[in-house]
Structure 1
Amino acid sequence: MPNPFVQVAAAWLAHPVELARAWQELATVSWATGMPSPLAEAAEGDDRFADEAWRVHPFFHGLMQQYLGLTRTLERQIYDTPGADERAARNAAFWLRHWCNAFAPSNFLPTNPVALRRAFESGGASLRAGYQEWLRDLLAGDLRMVDRTRFELGRDLAATPGRVVLRNAMMELIQYTPLNAQVHAVPLVLVPPWINKYYILDLTQQQSMVRHLVAQGFDVFVVSWKNPGSAMAGLSFEDHLFDGILAALEAARAIAGVPQVHAVGYCIGGTALATLMAWLNRRYPPGRELPVAHWTLLATLTDFARPGDIASFISEESVAWLEELMARQGFLDAQQIGWSFRMLRPNTQVWRYVVHKYLLGEATPAMAPLAWNADGTRQPRATHAFCLRELYLANKLARPDALELRGQPIDLGRIRQELYAVGALADHITPWRSTYCSAALVGAPVRYVLTASGHILGIINPPGSSAKQQYWAGPLLRDASAKEWLATREPVAGSWWEDWCTWLAQRCGALRVPAAQAHPDYPWLGDAPGIYVRES
């Protein structure tokens, strides 16, 4: 794919009259003072300009207005490029925003009123502290988002009691110790994404989905993926499905002594689970029970037509470059992946830390979700290349029978097991409208739930964690768009976990006494969180 800026520039040059008007508009915005009539005001939630000085001090107010007015005009003009390809304009606007974000006046000491004031009031101590933070990051070779020394696995994070009941070359399966005398007959098997470690589902005691489900009387299993090295370069997407997810489902069925389980997939773990569900529905003859009775997808895409801002990183050229890199390494490194995701939201994931740490002299924060996010995993070459080419570029999973795995064509429309699907309103990794379209590909009845917040905090959303919690829920409408579906729903205050647990309790059977001893085929191999999660 050609450079999007080249395409946009060529389109403007082919329309000289419109180009002259655009230049005139830019010149007007660039030289205007913005006083007393403002050119632009900071958007709600843009904390770069939250301080009062940006509004009351003439110099800083004019600087903010010129910056916002100029950047917004440039972005709008790119989208309005006459005759430009829509994707090229979208990609060019994405990269333009990166440059504009980098040169925001809030990022520099002389043009940041908060940093200047703090330096003056502290007698320069804030600048000294910021320099020390910069040195620590320099030695670490990274812009650290969190102080990981404040957290220990098994004590502060991933601390819900349980045992490893299965270990193979790909994953460990953890079964959690019941908190109640009885549990629901149908166990839950949680499949997290392999792009991070599993304990996003088991953070602190207050933020743990696992602990909440166990407290509600569910028999909970979680897949903990192995952190692959170069020796696992050939590990495939199919291996994740069959040696990972299916092996976990079969183990949970045997240990619980039931024919079926409830499966839960999160992000790319959900994509893999949906693929496996389609494979099983094709493989099993009519009338034969699948190992999954019903299932849940959390922030999951199966239709990659509109995957959000990440599309700006994915093209034939970029995928070919990544394949060459992974051929040398055998994997994509965790830090390389982490910076890719950071660049999707540079203001909050990069520049905010530069300002608060280096200019304001604040210590690196200690927050559980950030500690998990910094504990990344490598991606095996074969799996990552498959996901980029077959899912993101070719979007084969969204087309019936376009993808074939182990001799079976994959058609999500063949799935007949009831689905509970969750999207997050502010999710920029799996945009909620795309999760709605993805759920609509499934042939079974779907209850769709939209939660506030983003890809992580929208899903890790325990009751009572915020006064602003709300969600929208109801049957998915196949003849309506996501926007039209939302217009028919009323917001419900609270956490969607409560709605989900009610839905699960109605389907996961009567209560039973859990087994007190290990299953003969699945002996206890050690305590949670296991050994794979500790691999760096």
Structure 2
Amino acid sequence: MASDASDLLSDVLNTQTESLATLFGAMVPAAGTPEAESAMQWSQIAARMHTIWTEYQVEQLEKVKDRPPHYADPVKWIATAEAVFRQLPLADPKVQQNLWEEGIALVNSVLGQYGLGPQGSAKAGGEPELPRRDRRFADPEWRNQPFFALLHQLYLLLSDNIKGMASAVEGLEPARKAQLEFATSAIVDALSPANFPLTNPVVLGKATETRGESLVRGLQNMLDDMRKGQLTHSRPGAFVLGENIAVTPGKVVFETPLFQLIQYTPTTDKVLKTPLVIFPPWINRFYILDLNAKKSFVRWAVEQGLTVFMVSWKSADASMADLVWDDYINAQIEAIDVVRDRLKVPSVNTIGYCVAGTTLAATLAVLARKGEADKVASATFFTAQVDFEEAGDLKHFVDDQQIETVGKLSPEGYLDGRYLAATFNALRGNDLIWNYVEKNYLKGEDHPAFDLLHWNGDVTNLPARWHRDYLRDLYRDNRMVVPDSLQACNVPIDLRRIATPVYIQAGREDHIAPPQSVWKLTHHLSGPWTFLLAGSGHIAGVVNPPSSGKYQYWINEGSPETLEDFVAGANEHPGSWWPHWGQWVEALDPTRVPARGKRRPGGRGDRVIEDAPGRYVAQR
């Protein structure tokens, strides 16, 4: 469904353009009217938009031979929507009768708020009190005119009913039913009247206010995104690596064809003896943990006296087509060994974020099987899963058809990161797709300069073979929690062998790694573990510096067996959870040593490769 989500966006965007042309045709007054000057303005706007669109079409025709096999096909999406709705009881006479009766009642109720209809009695002053509310229609323009009030209220009525029908369908396997519910919701959300210029009063008002310039800007924004094959969330050019993002000082001290290893410069005279090695997910850029000075987990950790190393993964290209999970596990072990040898220490603390946390668990199991578990003093997991039975909305993208699609989208052996970005955007379509369609395409607004959104759009490519194996073996078949079912580095994986002290962080609102799924890691460890539930989700739940004063976290000092037990007996603490983790990791070994020699990368006699953040993070 990753490609389907991309297709849907592309199809709707094409429809937007055609609708805009229709809109201008309707808005140009007839010749000879007093509005001749205005007519000329709108005619010029229409001509400019027609020229822009024509030039884009000509440009795309020249590239048609290079289009990927999933290129948007409106007929395909009509078929997709038809297949979804065919599973709903829309043809049932009782369902139709109920919808008709609810619709009539809603029409009478809404029109009555404006003094229209058989029961009309408009209230004096104030906004109409409409029965249904949704933040997509929060602007007063949706209530100022009866037509738009009725339009969005009927849409919300139909939306609730159709989604309810999907939830009530019986006779499907749980996975298939969840896919049906997800697909139904995605299609219904895409058809919102807020997503089309002729049915959005805010867009029409903006067009009138700017004399059509907003629609010209919106069309240009849309075509720019269609050219690059990716929806833009943040102002292009607003952020530059090493200048205003990923700016914590450090040096690249080691590299392989798969990763660079960054060591950050200490800011304290003494540092904890045991260094910290961070493994970020290779499906994103590492600098989510180093966005800026105020938000940077890296900078904060350095300030606490930790010697911090960061792995910067290389975005996949054709040379990485044969990489598999073993290669990433070996890379983690290699990074651990490089740090141990560089600083002459017996062990390191580690952090694995998301998919890199899943891999870190496999790494610990491999080391334990090989009798080398003492190389890792502790392991911290940021929103990471090992048991994928309740893995959240991403489970909708891992059936056989979707896994086969990954191969079709990867003719050169790597998956273009834009497909994965489209998948994650589709998980929160209203927030990450349609919200920006309305703002930037229909209303022509400028993109904000937002570092987190810039990072979100800074995609990385994935080795296709590894990605297919990961989806099949972990998400679909859930083999990681079956002892010895999977193998890596020539040994079977058994998570029960992990006796390393473990710290597990989960986000309460995380939809990518749901807390109930993250919790399950506690069931597969033989050593001590600490579980912490943080406020917010997959990103904000992790990137929550103490200085922000936001959110909260929960700790349970007892021995809960389930997440429900944990929550029931947990104590809430305001603010960031970082200090709690810092105390935990320091308690394991509080020994401090002078921050000199190779503790200061690039110092006298220390050969380094380049300044942080390095080359790999900038490669697309």
Q: Give your verdict on TM over 0.5.
A: yes
Structure 1 distance, partners of 2:132, 2:253, is 56
Aligned-residue offset at 1:491: 2.4
Mean Cα deviation higher: 54-63 or 491-500: 54-63
Structure 2 distance, partners of 1:316, 1:62, is 42
- Going from structure 1 to structure 2, the CA distance change for 1:215 and 1:468 (only over 3 Å counts) comes to closer
Aligned-residue offset at 1:237: 0.8
2:347 to 256, 260, 271: 260
Equivalent pair of 2:89/2:165 in contact (CA under 8 Å): no
Aligned-residue offset at 1:281: 1.5
Equivalent residues in 2 for 1:89-488 (5 A)? 89-242=177-330, 244-284=331-371, 290-326=374-410, 328-465=411-548, 468-475=550-557, 477=559, 479-480=561-562, 482-488=563-569
Aligned-residue offset at 1:128: 3.5
Amino acid at match of 2:552: Q
Equivalent pair of 1:303/1:398 in contact (CA under 8 Å): yes
- Going from structure 1 to structure 2, the CA distance change for 1:364 and 1:222 (only over 3 Å counts) comes to same
Aligned-residue offset at 1:124: 3.6
Structure 1 distance, partners of 2:535, 2:138, is 23
3-state SS of 1:458 partner: coil
Structure 1 distance, partners of 2:261, 2:275, is 13
3-state SS of 2:588 partner: coil
3-state SS of 1:429 partner: coil
Structure 2 distance, partners of 1:138, 1:332, is 19
1:527 to 594, 597, 611: 611
- Going from structure 1 to structure 2, the CA distance change for 1:492 and 1:58 (only over 3 Å counts) comes to farther
3-state SS of 2:427 partner: coil
Equivalent pair of 1:189/1:222 in contact (CA under 8 Å): yes
Structure 2 distance, partners of 1:72, 1:150, is 40
- Going from structure 1 to structure 2, the CA distance change for 1:282 and 1:526 (only over 3 Å counts) comes to same
1:24 aligns with 2:97: yes
Amino acid at match of 2:336: L
Aligned-residue offset at 1:9: 4.8
Mean Cα deviation higher: 296-305 or 55-64: 55-64
1:495 aligns with 2:576: yes
Mean Cα deviation higher: 363-372 or 107-116: 107-116
Mean Cα deviation higher: 512-521 or 108-117: 512-521
- Going from structure 1 to structure 2, the CA distance change for 1:50 and 1:489 (only over 3 Å counts) comes to farther
Q: Which residue of 2 aligns with 1:61?
A: 149
Structure 1 distance, partners of 2:227, 2:85, is 40
Amino acid at match of 1:96: T
Give CA-to-partner distance per residue, 1:260-296, whole Å, 9 cap, x none. Answer: 1111000100010011111112221xxx752111110
1:505 aligns with 2:589: no
Equivalent pair of 2:556/2:571 in contact (CA under 8 Å): no
- Going from structure 1 to structure 2, the CA distance change for 1:347 and 1:514 (only over 3 Å counts) comes to same
1:79 to 140, 157, 167: 167
Q: Which residue of 1 aligns with 2:116?
A: none
Normalised TM-score (structure 1): 0.90
Equivalent pair of 1:296/1:420 in contact (CA under 8 Å): yes
Aligned-residue offset at 1:56: 6.1
Amino acid at match of 2:335: A
Normalised TM-score (structure 2): 0.79
Equivalent pair of 2:399/2:476 in contact (CA under 8 Å): yes
Structure 2 distance, partners of 1:8, 1:89, is 13
- Going from structure 1 to structure 2, the CA distance change for 1:12 and 1:442 (only over 3 Å counts) comes to farther
Structure 2 distance, partners of 1:392, 1:151, is 34
Structure 2 distance, partners of 1:320, 1:258, is 45
Q: Which residue of 1 aligns with 2:48?
A: none
Give CA-to-partner distance per residue, 1:156-199, whole Å, 9 cap, x none. Answer: 11111111111112111111000111111111100001111211
Q: Which runs of 5+ in 2 are unaligned?
A: 2-79, 111-128
Structure 2 distance, partners of 1:4, 1:113, is 26
Q: Which runs of 5+ in 1 are unaligned?
A: none
Question: Which protein shows a greater Rg?
Answer: 2
Equivalent pair of 1:333/1:379 in contact (CA under 8 Å): yes
- Give aligned pairs, total: 521
Equivalent pair of 1:299/1:435 in contact (CA under 8 Å): yes
Equivalent pair of 1:263/1:292 in contact (CA under 8 Å): yes
Equivalent pair of 2:416/2:461 in contact (CA under 8 Å): yes
